[in-house]
Amino acid sequence: MPLLIFLKQPNRAIAVKGDSLSLDEEVLRSSAKVFTIRFETIEGKNVLIARDNISHIEEISVEEIKKQKVEYEKRLKQKRQQNGQLLSPNLIFPRSKN
């Protein structure tokens, strides 16, 4: 099961591969002098997250992540439409009459 890591600053969550057992092993393996923990995102990218910047961590299913992503994109699209921003401009160029 993937993990959602909620950050303090900026206020967002990052979806990473792993489960609570692998997270416990990673934290136990790193010493108290280590200030960052390396995670692999669902897309396969590596990220370093500062220990002090982690608000909390939750386990979540892949289906739930996809559902939340679709809902977020839908809310973002509605917000842009309310602000009057063009999402996909529909440009039509006239043909020359030659």
Q: What is the mean pLDDT of each run of 10 residues along the chain (98 residues)?
A: 86 83 69 76 87 85 88 88 66 66
89 dihedral zone (left: phi>0; alpha: psi -120 to 50; beta): beta
pLDDT at residue 86, as a whole number = 57
List the domain boundaries for the chain. Answer: 3-82
pLDDT at residue 23, as a whole number = 72
pLDDT at residue 71, as a whole number = 93
pTM of model > 0.85: no
pLDDT at residue 93, as a whole number = 65
Which residues on neighbouring strands pair with residue 46, listed in sequence order?
40
Q: Which two tokens stand for residue 36?
A: 């960052």
pLDDT at residue 92, as a whole number = 66
